[in-house]
Each structure stands twice: as C-alpha cells, then as structure tokens.
Chain A
Amino acid sequence: MPRRDRSATPDAAAVQMTSVRKVYGKGAGAVTALDGVTITIPRGTFTAVMGPSGSGKSTFLHCAAGLDTPTSGTVLLGGTDLSGMSEVRLTELRRSRVGFVFQAFNLVPSLDVLRNIELPLRLSGTRTDRARLEEIIARVGLTGRTRHRPAQLSGGQQQRVALARALVTRPEVIFGDEPTGALDTATGRDVLTLLREAVDALGQTVVVVTHDPVAAGYADRVLFLADGRIAGTLDAPSADLVAEHMAGLGGRV
C-alpha cells in the first residue's frame, strides 16, 4: 500500500508518545488527566484504548491526534513532532494525516454524504480523486446514498460516512472516540469490521477509545489506562480477556 510520508523516516511509528503529561486548571483545582504516558503505536495496527471513566482515555486521544497539546512531553505523529505547533499547523496536520470517527455528531448536517466525505479535501484545496472516492464509498457500503443528508441516515450509516471521510485523505492514523458507543450491537460490529478491514486491507493505523470489551476484541492490542497512567497492555485480546483485565482495574466498565 503506498503511503504519503512527508517528513518521517519510513519505518517510524504511527504515534510515539514520550512522558506526556496533561494538567487541566491551575493551583489547587488542577486535575492531572495524563501522568507521564510513554507509548509507541506501530503502523498498520489496530489499537484499542480502555479504562474506567476519568482514566484519561479522551485526553490521550486528543493529545495523540493533535486536538489538544500536552502540558509536557512530546508527541510524534508519523515521526512529526507536534510540540510547539501553531493551531493552524495542527489543523493542517489533522486534515491531511489524521482521520476521526467520533461517537456521534460526526457530520455537518447541511452537507450531503458526498460533500461530507470530501470535506477535508475541499478544505485543504486538494483535488478529489473520483476513482478513489468511489472505491471508498463502495468499501463502506454507501453506494447509492451519496446524495442523502445526514438526517436521512441511520446511526450506523452516519458512522460509515465518518469512516469514509477519515479514509479519504489516506491518513497516518484513524482515531475513533467511542465510534460504536451510540450504536446497537449488530451495527456496532459492522463498523468495527470496517475498521478492521481498513487495517488489514488498506494497511491503515487505527486507534480507538472504547469501554466495550467486544469492541476491544477487534484490536491487535489493548492499552489500559487508569488515573492517567498506562496500567497494562494486552496483545491479541479476546473480549473475555479484556473484560477480565478491566475488572482487575476495578473500574466501571
């Protein structure tokens, strides 16, 4: 699979976090959301991030994806150091090298499916590759629905549109923030299968924050977070193993 590596060495990790700390607020009311996280996420893998509420999952995702800047430590995305980047440069980086699938409200309601998918390309002024666009639309199973508005789609279909939008720029990493959290089990599975395919067939890197052990079962590796620290990892996980591990962390699942 061809990659568009611009600044990184060819075998750099997709995400490399070193001693990342994130503190919200100041003084007595300060909350440490991430407390010295060091982790490497290799290319072409599917990683699930799990942890009880308040463990720092969302902050982890935001820092890794350049949505937020760490208080200290460094984040390398595809070998590019995000520290000290301006908001504009971070945005440019996000739109070309990061794809997002959020839990809900992923789409701009006034735009139809096709325009939502094209949005990152349009905003970066890149020309749309028709063939690739159609291939992606077919892959996520939206052929024939490109002129629908988000409000005319089911929740699962909306997540597919979000996934197509994430794929269209061939990003370094696709981040998912509870991408199946608002879906029923069967629809959720479809979306997870599509994410798995993106890794296996397209060689994409996927990082998903979830609290669902079943969802984590689709990953190559699970990272457990607790109190802002990495509390363990689990390779080739099954849903049962994950659930067991989570129970050990003592958090609510």
Chain B
Amino acid sequence: MLSLAWHTLRSRKGAFAGAFVALMCAAALITACGVLLETGLRGHIAPERYAGAPIVVGADQQVHWTKHKKHKVKTKSKPLTERAWLSADVADRIARVPGVTKVVPEVTFPARTAHGTAQGHAWESAALTPFTLAAGRAPRTAAEVVADARAGVRPGDTIGVLATEAPRTYRVVGVTAQAAPRQENLFFTGQEARRLAGRPGQVSAIGVFPASAVSAVRAALRGTPAEVHTGESRGALEFADASKARVTLVSMGGALGGTSLLVAILVVVGTFTLTIEQRRRELALLRAIAATPRQVRKMIGREALLVGTGAGLAGAAGGLFVARWLRSLFVGHGVMPPNLGLVLSPFPMAAGLAATVLAAWAAARLSARGTVRLRPAEALAEAAVERRRPPVARTLAGLAVLAGHVTLLVVLRALDVEAAATPVTFLAVVLGAFAVALLGPVLARAATALLAVPLRLSRVSGHLAAANGRAGTRRLASVITPLTLAVGMTCTILFAPATVADAATRQASAGVRAGHVLTGRVPGAGELSRLPGVRAVTAMVPTSIRVGQGKYAAQGVTPAGLTETIDPGVRAGSLDGLAHGGVAVSANAAGHMHARLGTELNVTLGDGTPLRARVAAVYGRGLGFGDVLLPYDVVAAHVDDPLPRQVLVAGGSADALRRAVARYPGVRTAPAAQAAGQRPDTEVNLVIMGLIIAFTAIAVVNTLAMATAERSREFALLRMVGTTKRQIHRMLRLETLSVTLTGVVLGTAIALATLSAYGAGMTGSARPAFPPPAYLGVVAALTVLALLATAIPGRLALTVHPPEALGARET
C-alpha cells in the first residue's frame, strides 16, 4: 500500500504540490511558535549591568496568590509590571553574613539625555559590571557625572539630563572604559542618584562578593522577600521587563501556533479535496477492480502521511529561520529584550512535524470520505461528470459548524478582556470559514445562480463562465473557502485592534475637557499651573495594577481640579474622592472586581506594593481612561518612571504652554488626548498575524492554481470548437472574479459579524472599525492575487497545442 502511495505521489507531483506548500507553511509557523513559546518558558537572559557581581540580591519580582480548588491549594505567580525594590536594611544584613567581603547596593532610574534614555546609577555601584574609568575621575558633587564609553562625551563636556525631575545640566568628569552591549549607563554621586531615584531607604539590587558566600547569603535571607540570584538568573533581575516579554511570547506563540494549525487543516482539507476530486476516475477504477473502501482510505491516508512528513521536515527546518526573523522583529519593536536568546531544542521541530503529519492525515481522510463511500458503479458512472447534489451529511455538518460559529459570537459578545476575546475572535473566524468549506457546494450553487445573470451579458466568455460555474460547483467550493478565509482573517486581524482603538480614541476625545494636551515625559507639571489663565493641570502616569488576581490598566492622575480636565463619564460617586486617597474604577472593571461605590479594594500596585483603597467613583469611559484611576502620587512612587507621560491643561494659552515646555526634550503639544489602555504591541501583533494572512494568501494562490491547471483538456476542447485564446482568458478572468466576489462577500460577512461581537464585548458598541481605504485595499490585493493565480496556470495550460492536449491520455 505504501509503495502504491509512493508511486502515486511521484507521478502526481503537481497535484500534491499545493498540499505540500500549505503543510510546509504550517510546519514552519508551528515550529516558529514553538520556539517562541519555549523561549518564553525557559529562556535565559545574560546579565549586562550585573555581569561583574557573582551574587545579586533583589526583591521578588512576582506577585503570588493561592488558589483553592476543592482539596488542592495551588500557588500561582505572575510577573510584576514595575520593578519591586528592596529595603536598604537588607544590605546591612548581608554585610554581616560571614564570608561576605563586599556589598554594593544599587539604585536604578531612567535618565534621558539628548541621544536616548540611559540608566542612571550611583558611581559607587560601578563595580557591579564592573565599570572602570578610562579618563577623568569619579563624581564628587551633585552636578558631576561619569558617562559610559557609548555616550561619546569627554571629561569637561556638559550634558542635559532629564531624569525623574526637571532637567538639569551636569558636567562630565569621567568616562568609563567599558560600555554595556545594549544599554547606556550614567553614573551620579550616591546622594544625587538616591535623590533622583526617589525611593528613600530602598535599593533596586544588591551586589555581593565573593561567589563562595552564596549559600550563607541564601541562609541569611531565608524567609525574607529578598531573592538571591547567581549566574544567568541575574539577568532576570536586571531585565525585569523580560518576564513580561516571556509572558507575551508564550501567549503570542500559543495564539499564532493554534490559529495556524487550524488554518492549515482547513487549507489542506481544501487542497486534498481538489486532488482527490481530480483523481475520482482513478479511485473509481481502484474500487471497481480490487480495492475495498478501507484500502482506498488507507492509500490516501498514506499519501498524506508521505506528503505530511516531507513537508513537515522541510517546514520544521524553515521554522527555525522564521523564529529568528520573528525574534529580530520583536527586539526591534522592544517587545523582547535583545539579550533574551532563542531557546533551541528539538521539541518545537518535533511538534511542528507531528502536527503537520497529523493534520495532513486527518485532512486526507476527511476529504476522501465522500469519494470512498461511493459504490463503484456510481463512481465509474459519475467519474467524468460531477455529482449533482451535495451530500446531506455534509450540509448538516456545515450547519452544525455554523451554529458553533454563532455560539462563539454570542460568547464573544460577553467577553470584555482582551486576553480572552482575542483567541475567541480568531477561532470564530476559522469556524466561520469551516462552515463555508462544508456548505461550499450549496453556497457555490447559490452564488453561480446569482452571478449567472450579469455574466451572461458577455455572450461568449461570460456565458461559458456561467456554465462552468454551474457544472463545477465542487471545484468552486474548494476555491471559495480559502478566499473567504483570507478575507475574513485579514479583515479581523487588521480591524480588531482598530475597533478597540477607535472606541478608545472616541472615548478619550469625548472625555477630555482640557483645552491643551502635552505628551512625552513632562516634568514640572506644577509649574504649568502657575501660567496665566490655567485653571487646572492634570498629570497622568500609566501603569498596570492588580485587584485580586485580575490585571487592569490604570493611571495615576493629579486629583486637584480633575473634573476641570477630564470627564470619564462618572456614573456614581465623584472624582473628588481621589483627593482623599480613593480610587475610581470603570464600570466594566467594577463588574469584574464585584465592586461598587464604597467597596474597599485590595490593590497590588505595579511594583507589588499592596494598597487598600475605597472606590470613590465608577465611570463609563474605561477604554479612554483605563480601568482604574488612582491619585498621581500613589502611582508615581511605585513605577519605574514616575514622570507623567501626558499632561492635560485647562485654560491658559497654547503659546505660553509651548514656551514653558520647549526646554524639555521630547515633549510636544498634542492635538488630542491619547487613550489609556492602548496596547503598545499592536504593531508587532499585526506583523505576527500577518504571517497568518500570508498563509491564507498562499492557500488562495495554491487552490486557484491547482483548480486551473487541471483544465487543460477542457481548454483544448474549447479551442478545437473555435473558442479563441482571448475568449478563454476572458472566461477565466470572469470565473475568477465571480469566485473572488463570492469569497469577499462571505469573508466580509464573517469578519463583520465577528468584529461586531468583539466590539460589543470590548467596547460596548457593536460598531466595528472598517476603514474603507484599508478594506478596499484588502479586496483589491486579493483580487489581483486571485487573477494572477489563475492567469498564469491558465496561460501554461493553453500553451499546449490543442490536439495534443486532447490526445494526451488521462494521467
């Protein structure tokens, strides 16, 4: 049986090429996702700044909680979003541990200079890397700094630094011999560094020497919130945002891998169906002379296994390159720290291969079902002609899947958390496409019946196209599915973020009362309030907090005069409560927290600090202003960068404002307020999901090319009876345009339905963003692709001299 399968494959390379390409893409995507996932789970980050300290002690950078499930108690941990600091006392405690010779406490804060953001530290902790002076001397006064070798300054130069307060000019007194590979460092005196860090009595890390003291240090710190890091794990402490990156990698890897697997199955079922459709005569013969249905199924299954294995191996190898490319992309967008290397193990490749082989086999068995069950007499009789009626079972299955799609949409309407809604959104689209695949013959018939009317306007080509559409509904059905999927997926991927972003922007602009908006890291908000005519100044700093186990986008806002600058749509209570330590929550978030006005919330701030706060107001515009509003000072004391990212000013003149902030680098007056809670990684997400779009586009080309290439005999016959090449090309174009139109209509319907449900859940309004230029662009690109995918094989099929093509025996 295997040899029969092998011979078939060898002589039908063309027919299996489509399935091979689809499976290879799937294997590559799944392998790449596997690598990302594994990197997220097991990746290590080499330390840079802490490379010179054998032991580094830092605070626990995770938030923990216990889950009670029946009789089991489970402890769950999630990374904090801001760096947790450690009490400076810990350093004294370590210093007393026998065997410890040197203890170096460290503070870290962002220090923006003219050419980028450096990490500010105290010169006393230079030994952690270690940094040594190449020229000049150590800083002695608060106005002196040492720059690293990257900065390109010399002793005697002056540099402006915007750290966590108003900018200041410092004099460079020394330059280090070293530079960290991927970050800039700037060293101040200990006192100045501690002042700028703004965390009195706290340190971000403590370097301990020598390495041999590690067990004693561990023993001394047992039971305290301090954690001891050595070797690679020092990197995890240094790059606290790396754990965030890991979570992102795991979730992205999972979503992309899962979606591409589903898409692969759908695409491969389509290509196999076409292949089998083209081989009906041969299969009928096998059934008639000797093969039981089981044997035919087995044979098709084995062919698929062979194709799947070949494609899987090629794709798994290619997946490693995709993973590398994705990594460089992530690093470029700052989603992944550059020193988080990819973890390469055989597992992702094995998973890619296994998933592909399984998908191929399942797809083949699925697509062979109808053909194999036929009685041989029927098969022989209808081998040349098409079956007339779509099988009832298939239609019923299609309706069942459609019902599943609708159910998912209902579920989606109730989901208002991005993390939950996104996978459901994609699943809903794939399910919709599955329904189209199953209902394909029925839909194709309906579509051809509708389209026949305009097609007949063209007497020869259009008439032929309409007739072909009627006669070849199964071929049409196989082609419509990838088109539908491509349109549905692309629109959903492109417009889902826009749907939320649009709503957020609408809310933000509706909710801003202030006349002026400043963006960038804006120091000295207090000074602005002294400008003539200014009634209120609201500084806003974003963060994310947890209430219970739920994570929420939050903002710290200046409580004084808040109602002058923003109107978040208060439904209960008053924003004045923020001045007395209260918090405001969006109605949406309040629902998740089971909170009402006056409820005392247990908040975990970004750096893990617990806070109890009473709900002083509940507001409606959660997308525009974030889920939780807290007093500015409460948030600023617990984030890595305490400077506001946005300042709203009510009253005053724009010119005066512009003059006031002119000396702050990167600060601009913006035409409108930025919405809070917008994900910064949308762009990256787009690129990743772009791979899925590319995959569906490949599927479209694949299927159309396959469906056209098999028609050389038909074209030859048309030519023999006097149809010109031009008329045939025209006929092909009209056919392609009709199937593309059908696919676009179905895909758009699926995308609209899905995005409406997504919008209803996420934004409370079922109005999906469907920007016409982008949408028309998608449709136009797909149409061009489809036309090319039929025109090229069509041209090739027509190059054969007609009598030869007709004479060619069925192969």
B7 touches A91 (CB 8 A): no
Does A124 lie at the interface of the complex (its beta carbon under 8 Å from any beta carbon of B)?
A: yes
- Of B4, B289, B293, B810, the contact of A94 (CB 8 Å cutoff): B289
B293 touches A123 (CB 8 A): no
Q: Which chain A residues (58-115) contact chain B, with CB distance < 8 Å?
A: 58, 62, 67-69, 87-88, 91-92, 94-95, 100, 102, 105-111, 115
Does A151 lie at the interface of the complex (its beta carbon under 8 Å from any beta carbon of B)?
A: yes
A108 touches B286 (CB 8 A): yes
Give the number of chain B interface residues (Cβ < 8 Å): 30
Q: What 1/0 flags go to A137-179 for Cβ under 8 Å of B? A: 0000000000001110000001000000100000000000000
What residues of chain B lie closer than 8 Å to A88, measured between beta carbons?
292-294
What residues of chain B lie closer than 8 Å to A115, measured between beta carbons?
4, 7
Residue with the highest number of chain B CB atoms closer than 10 Å, among A58, A92, A94: A94
A111 touches B4 (CB 8 A): yes
Does A120 lie at the interface of the complex (its beta carbon under 8 Å from any beta carbon of B)?
A: yes
Q: Which residues of B are at the interface with A, using a C-beta cutoff of 8 A?
A: 4, 7-8, 10-12, 281-282, 285-295, 375-378, 380-381, 383, 808-811
If A67-B375, A67-B377, A151-B811 touch, whether A105 touches B281 (CB-CB below 8 Å) is yes
B286 closest partner in A (C-beta): A108
B289 touches A100 (CB 8 A): yes
What residues of chain A lie closer than 8 Å to B282, measured between beta carbons?
105, 108-109
A62 closest partner in B (C-beta): B377
If A105-B285, A119-B289, A120-B290 touch, whether A110 touches B295 (CB-CB below 8 Å) is no
What residues of chain A lie closer than 8 Å to B293, measured between beta carbons?
87-88, 91
What residues of chain B lie closer than 8 Å to A100, measured between beta carbons?
288-289
What residues of chain B lie closer than 8 Å to A58, measured between beta carbons?
381
Give the number of chain A interface residues (Cβ < 8 Å): 31
B6 closest partner in A (C-beta): A110
A123 touches B290 (CB 8 A): yes
A110 touches B290 (CB 8 A): no
Does A4 lie at the interface of the complex (its beta carbon under 8 Å from any beta carbon of B)?
A: no
A123 touches B380 (CB 8 A): no
A108 touches B295 (CB 8 A): no
Q: How far is the CB of A83 from chain B (nearest CB, A)?
A: 15
Does A122 lie at the interface of the complex (its beta carbon under 8 Å from any beta carbon of B)?
A: yes
How far is it, in angstroms, between the C-alpha of A150 and the C-alpha of B293 when the chains are bound?
24
**Sorted from nearest, which 8 A-B pairs have the closest CB atoms?**
A110-B11, A68-B377, A95-B290, A120-B290, A67-B377, A62-B377, A123-B290, A91-B292
Q: Which residues of A are at the interface with B, using a C-beta cutoff of 8 A?
A: 58, 62, 67-69, 87-88, 91-92, 94-95, 100, 102, 105-111, 115, 119-120, 122-124, 149-151, 158, 165
A119 touches B7 (CB 8 A): no
B289 touches A111 (CB 8 A): no
Q: How far is the CB of A172 from chain B (nearest CB, A)?
A: 14
Q: List 8 A-B contacts (CB under 8 A).
A: A91-B290, A91-B292, A105-B383, A109-B810, A110-B11, A120-B290, A158-B809, A165-B289
B291 closest partner in A (C-beta): A123
B282 closest partner in A (C-beta): A108
B285 touches A108 (CB 8 A): yes
A101 closest partner in B (C-beta): B289
How far is it, in angstroms, between the C-alpha of A94 and the C-alpha of B376 when the chains are bound?
11
Determine the main DSSP class of B at the interface with A.
helix
Q: How far is the CB of A174 from chain B (nearest CB, A)?
A: 11
B294 touches A122 (CB 8 A): no
What residues of chain A lie closer than 8 Å to B285, measured between beta carbons?
102, 105-108
How far is it, in angstroms, between the C-alpha of A100 and the C-alpha of B10 when the chains are bound?
26
Q: How far is the CB of B697 from chain A (nearest CB, A)?
A: 31
A123 touches B377 (CB 8 A): no
How far is it, in angstroms, between the C-alpha of A107 and the C-alpha of B8 when the chains are bound?
12
How far is it, in angstroms, between the C-alpha of A122 and the C-alpha of B2 when the chains are bound?
11
Extra inter-chain contacts (17) besides given A91-B290, A151-B809, CB under 8 Å: A67-B380, A68-B375, A68-B377, A87-B375, A91-B287, A92-B292, A94-B288, A95-B290, A100-B288, A109-B282, A109-B811, A110-B10, A120-B289, A123-B291, A123-B295, A151-B808, A165-B289
A120 closest partner in B (C-beta): B290
- Of B7, B8, B281, B289, the contact of A95 (CB 8 Å cutoff): B289
What residues of chain B lie closer than 8 Å to A67, measured between beta carbons?
288, 375-377, 380
How far is it, in angstroms, between the C-alpha of A94 and the C-alpha of B288 when the chains are bound?
8
- Of A68, A110, A124, A150, the contact of B12 (CB 8 Å cutoff): A110
How far is it, in angstroms, between the C-alpha of A108 and the C-alpha of B288 when the chains are bound?
12
Q: How far is the CB of A145 from chain B (nearest CB, A)?
A: 15
- Of B290, B294, B377, B811, the contact of A124 (CB 8 Å cutoff): B290
How far is it, in angstroms, between the C-alpha of A115 and the C-alpha of B1 when the chains are bound?
12
What residues of chain A lie closer than 8 Å to B377, measured between beta carbons?
62, 67-68
What residues of chain B lie closer than 8 Å to A158, measured between beta carbons?
809
What residues of chain B lie closer than 8 Å to A105, measured between beta carbons?
281-282, 285, 383, 810
How far is it, in angstroms, between the C-alpha of A158 and the C-alpha of B285 when the chains are bound?
14
What residues of chain A lie closer than 8 Å to B378, measured between beta carbons?
68
- Of B8, B12, B291, B383, the contact of A91 (CB 8 Å cutoff): B291
How far is it, in angstroms, between the C-alpha of A92 and the C-alpha of B376 when the chains are bound?
13
A122 closest partner in B (C-beta): B4
Q: How far is the CB of A45 from chain B (nearest CB, A)?
A: 22
How far is it, in angstroms, between the C-alpha of A91 and the C-alpha of B286 when the chains are bound?
10
Q: How far is the CB of A109 from chain B (nearest CB, A)?
A: 5
What residues of chain B lie closer than 8 Å to A106, measured between beta carbons?
285
What residues of chain B lie closer than 8 Å to A68, measured between beta carbons?
375-378
How far is it, in angstroms, between the C-alpha of A158 and the C-alpha of B808 when the chains are bound?
14
Q: How far is the CB of A90 from chain B (nearest CB, A)?
A: 9
Q: How far is the CB of B296 from chain A (nearest CB, A)?
A: 10
What residues of chain A lie closer than 8 Å to B286, measured between beta carbons?
108, 119
What residues of chain B lie closer than 8 Å to A111, measured between beta carbons?
4, 7
A87 touches B380 (CB 8 A): no
A98 closest partner in B (C-beta): B289
How far is it, in angstroms, between the C-alpha of A87 and the C-alpha of B288 when the chains are bound?
11
If A67-B375, A109-B810, A109-B811 touch, whether A87 touches B8 (CB-CB below 8 Å) is no
How far is it, in angstroms, between the C-alpha of A68 and the C-alpha of B289 when the chains are bound?
13
If A87-B375, A100-B289, A105-B281 touch, whether A110 touches B7 (CB-CB below 8 Å) is yes
Q: How far is the CB of A187 from chain B (nearest CB, A)?
A: 15
If A67-B375, A105-B281, A151-B811 touch, whether A110 touches B289 (CB-CB below 8 Å) is no
What residues of chain B lie closer than 8 Å to A69, measured between beta carbons?
375
Q: How far is the CB of B17 from chain A (nearest CB, A)?
A: 15
A109 closest partner in B (C-beta): B811
A158 closest partner in B (C-beta): B809
B290 touches A119 (CB 8 A): yes
How far is it, in angstroms, between the C-alpha of A58 and the C-alpha of B377 when the chains are bound?
9
How far is it, in angstroms, between the C-alpha of A67 and the C-alpha of B285 when the chains are bound?
11
How far is it, in angstroms, between the C-alpha of A69 and the C-alpha of B287 when the chains are bound?
15
How far is it, in angstroms, between the C-alpha of A21 and the C-alpha of B285 when the chains are bound?
25
